[in-house]
Amino acid sequence: MSSFALLGVAHLLPLPGTPSSTFDLDSITRRALDDIRVLHDAGFQGAVLENFGDAPFRAGSVSPHIVAMMSVIAYQIRTHVPKNFQLGINVLRNDARAAMAVASSVNADFIRVNVHIGAAWTDQGLIEGTAYETLQYKNQLRSSVKIAADVLVKHAAPAGVNDIEILAKDTYFRGKAQTLIVTGSRTG
C-alpha cells in the first residue's frame, strides 16, 4: 500500500451458511464486483473485501466454507479489476489466518486485522491478537501479503492499554504490521 492510498470497503452480502444468508454465491459475487467497480471508477486506489454481511460474527476462526467462498469472490475481483487496484482481505471477526490464506491464494496486496496485538472487548467477547501466529503463517506460505492492523479497532474497547500512541507503536514495532488503521468507534 502506498502511504496515502484512498481505500474503500466492499461489504459482502451474507455468505451462504451464515445466520442472515438468503443469497447464492453468484449473486454475492456479482454484487461485490459491482461495488469494487464503483470504487475503482470513482478514483479509489483499492478496497478491502470483508464479510460484513455475515453478522453476527464469531470470535476467532470462521468455517472453512467462508474461506472458500471469499477466495472465489476475491479471485473474480482480481480477474476483472486492473492489477494496480489494491485488494485487501478482512475475515470477520478477526480471523487473520483465514484472511492470509485468501489473500495469498489470489495475490491480494494486504490483509486487515482488527485485533493484531493485545486484546479487545467486543460484542463477540474478548478477542486476543494473534500477531505471532499470523506472521508465522505468512512465513510458512512464503507470502508477500502485507498486514494492515487496526489501532483501537471500532466496535470494541481495549483490554488493557488504551493510549493510542503506545498502541500504534506496539502494533507497528512489536506486532510488525506494515500499515496502521485508525477509524472511528463505529462502522459508517
Grid coordinates standing for 182?
485508525
SS in 3 state form for 35-53? HHHHHHHCCCCEEEEECHH
Tell me, what's the pLDDT at 45? 95
Which pLDDT tens digit goes with each residue over 9-19?
A: 999 999 999 99
Cα–Cα distance measured from residue 138 to residue 154, given in angstroms and rounded to the nearest whole number: 25
Predicted confidence band at 5 (pLDDT cuts at 50, 70, 90)? Answer: confident
Mean pLDDT of all residues belonging to the chain: 94
Tell me, what's the pLDDT at 85? 96
